[in-house]
Amino acid sequence: MGSFDNEINRRRTFAIISHPDAGKTTLTEKFLLYGGQINLAGSVKGKATARHAVSDWMEIEKERGISVTSSVMQFEYDGFCINILDTPGHQDFSEDTYRTLMAADSAVMVIDGAKGVEPQTRKLFKVCAMRGIPIFTFINKLDRDALDTFDLLDDIEKELGISTCPVNWPIGSGKNFKGVYDRKSRTIVTYSDTQKGTKEGHTEVVSLDDKEAALKEIGNDAFDKLDGEIELLDGASAEFDLEEVRAGKLTPVFFGSALTNFGVEIFLQHFLEMTTTPLPRKSEDGMVEPTDDSFSAFVFKIQANMNKAHRDRIAFMRICSGKFEADKEVKHVQGGRTLRLSQPQQIMADERKILSEAYAGDIIGVFDPGIFSIGDTVCSPSKAVKFEGIPTFAPEHFARVRQIDTMKRKQFVKGISQIAQEGAIQIFQELNSGLEEIIVGVVGVLQFDVLKFRLENEYNVEIRLEPLPYEHIRWIEKSETDIAKLTGTSDMKKVTDLKGRPLLLFVNPWSIGMTIERNPGLELSEFARN
């Protein structure tokens, strides 16, 4: 196998998903610590200290101490080249979060041991399930009092409809947290509080079969409880089956504490053994293999004004096949032109590293003069491919946008159109109203604040947002449907999107069914076909 194949096969690209405050950023930082990227894990609570987590860069994030945008980090560990896609963990996340999952080959789900599955996790999980991507679960914060372990597993299975297979098992939690039991090797790895930010504390490994040593390490009560739980577990939990894991039907579960760094490296090592090399991707002409020697990539995210000093737009691309070389020309399929990708870089929080090469599985950011859209394909001119588009996800919150100074109409239209092109917001117009009446739809309400903040700071335009009661949106499947003649319900609004496609907004979920009944032949969809 040549070095080209080796480079691709040693890559692992995954996203980390979690509910806010489950400890995702802390876990990400500990991974980077193992990869030698940072020497001391940064203090994540941005408000208490001046040091911000490495993955946060936007002003609004620094003020709030949350991750709004998704950033990408690459590090080396044990011969692997690892790309982590960090997704926003705030409950007001954006469509960006969903799209980031389109660029990952697997997902790590972080769950707070005291809270179990939370609403945000459920939404993200749905997108993983839609793509059938493998999910690995890390149950965090065992250094605090946690729910009963069987209840936690039950919660995952019920809420997410996926089987669980614990790879290790916690021994107590909170003040009584003694460590974890490794099921395969039948050993106990003991926990000792570590100095924050260091790699790990002092741990002992003893065999469960050496009862004397085990009792000495964890005490009688914990030993008896563990003994009973193992018996139950061996009878009740799903058998480990790598095929099922890779099909996204079974999630391996690990326990630990990211803050004190216990169980993180154990998790990382197992995860790297179980997860796959970069996966093939579907194009209009069939599957494209990562080791195919011609370069191809797709755009999954566009971010404007990442750097105040340079008014720039960066298009993030996931490389699907071959090797990217900075000096080579590529074809932008949708734009029908050949070009050189300008300033190809990997972005690590505030730092940017210009790249000369990258391989399938990697994520690169390139300067975008305004030509790329989300879902676009870029490939070698010699072998054109076109990847399937990325679905547009239904917004759940809507507001009417009013501009305070009507003289700034031009900047307003430019700003709102550019932010919509990045996919952070979706813009709708009232039927037959032109751009006078703009309705903005977002997946998470924080995007309204981000929109306001960015229009003021980047385009010098002030707006007023007037919340609307709509919560459900449906695209009309058949283009020949005459939206003006549709008989709806009193809580329904007819709008069009930026591409002129007709849509319906509803306040109540039951109105959707009533509208379908009243209009024979009407077909409605939750996703827009791109």
What was the pLDDT predicted at 433? Answer: 65
Residue with tokens 């058949």: 478
**pLDDT the model gives residue 380:** 94
* One pLDDT digit (tens) per residue for the chain, 530 residues: 468 899 999 999 999 888 777 777 788 888 878 877 554 444 333 333 334 454 444 454 455 444 434 467 888 899 999 998 877 655 555 677 778 888 999 999 999 999 998 877 777 787 788 788 899 999 999 999 999 999 999 999 998 889 999 999 999 989 889 899 999 889 998 887 655 545 555 667 888 888 888 888 888 899 899 989 998 988 777 789 999 999 999 999 999 998 888 899 899 999 999 999 999 999 998 999 999 999 999 999 887 655 555 557 788 899 999 999 988 999 999 989 999 988 787 765 456 678 889 999 999 988 888 888 888 999 999 888 999 888 777 888 999 998 888 888 889 988 888 888 777 788 998 876 655 678 999 887 878 888 898 898 888 999 999 999 999 999 888 766 777 788 888 999 999 887 788 899 999 999 999 999 999 888 888 766 65
Chosen CATH of 3-274 out of 1.10.10.10, 3.40.50.300, 3.40.50.720, 2.30.40.10 = 3.40.50.300
How many angstroms separate the CA atoms of 97 and 126, rounded? 12
**Residue written as token pair 């260091």:** 198
Q: At what angle do helices 149-160 and 119-131 cross, to 10 degrees?
A: 60
Q: What's the rounded Cα separation, in Å, for the pair 434 and 499?
A: 13
Closest CA to 364 of 337, 381, 338, 342: 342
In the chain the first and final C-alpha atoms are separated, in Å, by 38
For residue 417, the model assigns a pLDDT of 85
Mark 328-340 as b/e (b = at least 16 C-beta within 10 Å). eebbbbeeeeeee
Token pair, residue 475, equals 């695209």
Q: Which pLDDT does position 201 carry in this prediction?
A: 55
Q: How far apart (Å, rounded) are the C-alpha atoms in residues 179 and 302?
A: 43
Instruction: Please tell me the chain's helix, strand, coil percentages from 3-state DSSP, rounded to the nearest 5.
Output: 30, 30, 40
Topology of domain 281-379, per CATH?
A: Elongation Factor Tu (Ef-tu); domain 3 (2.40.30)
Whether 3-274 and 397-525 share one fold: the answer is no
What residue spans define the domains of the chain? 3-274, 281-379, 397-525
3-class DSSP assignment, residue 3: helix
CB 260 within 8 A of CB 196: yes
Q: Which fold has domain 397-525?
A: Alpha-Beta Plaits (3.30.70)
Q: Hunting for tokens 């790309």 — which residue is that?
A: 83
In angstroms, rounded to a whole number, what is the distance separating the alpha carbons of residues 358 and 377?
16
The secondary element (H helix, E strand) that includes residue 140 is: strand 135-140
From the list 263, 364, 203, 258, the residue with the least C-alpha distance to 29 is 258
